[in-house]
Amino acid sequence: MNKTAATVQDIVDHTSVVNYTGSQYMAQRSVSEIEISRPGLELTGYFDFYPAERVQLFGQTETSYARMMTSDNRYHVLQQMCTPKTPAFVFSRGIQPSKEMCRAANEAQIPILGSPLTTTRVSNIITQYLEKVLSPRQSIHGVLVDVYGIGVLIKGDSGIGKSETALELIKNGHRLVADDRVDIYQQNEHTLVGEAPAILKNLMEVRGIGIIDIMTLFGARAVRSSMEIALIINLSTWSENTNYERIGLKNQTETILNVAVPSLEIPVKVGRNISNIIEVAAMDYRCKKLGYNAADRFEHDLTALIKANSKSGKKQ
């Protein structure tokens, strides 16, 4: 289930920012917007498009401008910024809030947070946490494995061998992210990140054995907590009546949370080493990202050969 809001207490508990004042209000103040606001125009008195529902971040620029104002004017502007929707004020670079800020925030029961880090760094830390918590989420049946640094989501019907394939990949030195169920959230418009539900973290179900702990059996190198999903592998039962891809000219994708992810269908039958095929698929994906496509080269060379043979035939 997607979360629609986090609390200011959550931000303090899961990031490097600390509380300055108003700790008693942190659990009551919710954050529903991922974006962070730096209230430059608002300090000048322009509030027509004030994003009150966002975390308000004060850096050196905002603080320096506020110091140039008179005490009464500063308090009046800050009082306007303290709305029932405003979750929290955050100060970067170890900057301490003014007495007017503390007064206005305390009257509105809004917590003030701070960090010694730069403004950009504080913004990134809070945004990354809010993206993870508030971004759209979807749970998918499958296995997510880190193969050569490529996040491969293995899908297929129940019992087709997803977990067994992932287990062989782990034995080959790759890393498990999630087995059986993958929780996916949209990090941005182009990126999906997958992780295991808390109850299934580092665990895998192998039919005939039961639940095994991958970290206990293979060590910390065999697991990771999350991974960007770069490639989807759909395992299907081999059928003589199906025309499978032979060259690789078709660029197939699968859409999850409005993000198109490259996908492949790999037929499963006796004698095919699926884990080896997935390793090759991950390496081929990386080659394509670097600009080399073997299928395109084959098509180019084949076209050139046909032209050369055609010219040779005409001369004869």
**Catalytic machinery residues:** 141, 162, 180, 246
To the question of whether residue 114 is assigned a binding role by annotation, the answer is: no
Cβ-based neighbours of 79, under 8 Å, separated by 6 or more? 104, 107, 108
SS3 129: helix
To the question of whether residue 59 is assigned a binding role by annotation, the answer is: no
To the question of whether residue 160 is assigned a binding role by annotation, the answer is: yes
The string of DSSP letters for 289-316 reads HTT--HHHHHHHHHHHHHHHHHHHHHH-
Virtual CA dihedral for 129, 186, 179, 10, nearest 10 degrees? 20
To the question of whether residue 156 is assigned a binding role by annotation, the answer is: yes
Cβ-based neighbours of 197, under 8 Å, separated by 6 or more? 139, 178, 181, 183
To the question of whether residue 263 is assigned a binding role by annotation, the answer is: no
To the question of whether residue 92 is assigned a binding role by annotation, the answer is: no
To the question of whether residue 183 is assigned a binding role by annotation, the answer is: no
- The DSSP call for residue 247 is S
Q: How far apart (Å, rounded) are the C-alpha atoms in residues 293 and 276?
A: 20
To the question of whether residue 159 is assigned a binding role by annotation, the answer is: yes
To the question of whether residue 157 is assigned a binding role by annotation, the answer is: yes
Beta strands at 143-147 and 150-156: parallel, antiparallel or unpaired: antiparallel
Q: Residues comprising the binding site?
A: 156-163, 205
Residues within the annotated binding site for ATP? Answer: 156-163
Q: Would you list which residues are annotated within the binding site for Mg(2+)?
A: 163, 205
